[in-house]
Amino acid sequence: MIAHSQNGQGMTSERTRERLVRQLRDEGIRDERVLQVMSQVPRHIFVDEALASRAYENTALPIGRSQTISQPYIVARMTEALLEGENLDKVLEVGTGSGYQTAVLAPLVRRIYTVERIATLLEQAKQRFRLLKLRNIHPKHSDGGLGLPEFSPFDGIIVTAAPEGIPRTLVEQLRPGGRMILPIGQGDVQALVKVTRTARGYDTEMLEPVRFVPLLGGTET
């Protein structure tokens, strides 16, 4: 990986990533596999060059088309909540965006399907996956609100844009016992929620307040 490229502060990106991982630990991230992956994935290649020097700050950043790359803490928290220390086989991500969350999950699961409704963002993300030689990612240009029924059931689903309520279509594509981590709500009133599919329906658990861009319908070029 791109371990020794310099960022805008003149530090190696490896050292700034280590600093970020220390912050994630301080904020309560405990899964060592998640911390290990985040110390390796070069977040600076997932943002525009003009923002690369800020890539290891623990903040969300713009990625164009009014979308954002999520804050590293939230990426870590969602990944940890999705995995719960298990080895997941087949995962669906809704909202590829920059592809950073996908790249963090890829080494931790067997196969990941990721869908994005904006074609240009998906193309940029695909180039990054190629550069990092991440070969278990299956990117699709489609409306993630519909899920990917042809590849279901999934062991886990992670949604990185906020619907107003729990999308039933996605719950139905989880295997029994499977988990979905997603933000729910509108504007600045949103909560990160864990939905676990049960034999008869699903259970929900609130994790923490968050702020994501809205889950929209349809697709764009």
Q: Catalytic residue positions?
A: 70
Question: Which residue in the shown chain puts its C-beta closest to ligand SAH?
Answer: 97
Q: How far is the CB of 12 from ligand SAH (least distance, A)?
A: 23
Q: How far is the CB of 161 from ligand SAH (least distance, A)?
A: 4
| Cβ nearer to ligand SAH, comparing 87 with 120 | 120
Q: How far is the CB of 142 from ligand SAH (least distance, A)?
A: 7
DSSP secondary structure code for residue 150 in this structure: G
Calpha distance 221→209 (Å, rounded): 31
| Cβ nearer to ligand SAH, comparing 93 with 155 | 93
Q: How many CB atoms lie within 10 A of CB 51?
A: 16
| Cβ nearer to ligand SAH, comparing 95 with 178 | 95
Q: How far is the CB of 49 from ligand SAH (least distance, A)?
A: 16
Cβ burial of 187 (10 Å; 0-12, 13-18, 19+) is exposed
Q: Counting every residue, how long is the chain?
A: 221
| Cβ nearer to ligand SAH, comparing 13 with 67 | 67
212: amino acid identity, one letter: F
Q: How far is CA 29 from CA 35, 74, 166, in A?
A: 8, 10, 25
Instruction: Please report, as ranges, the residues that interact with ligand SAH according to CB under 6 A.
Output: 63, 67-70, 94-95, 97-98, 100-101, 115-118, 121, 143-145, 160-161, 213, 215-217
What are 127's two structure tokens?
A: 């180039």
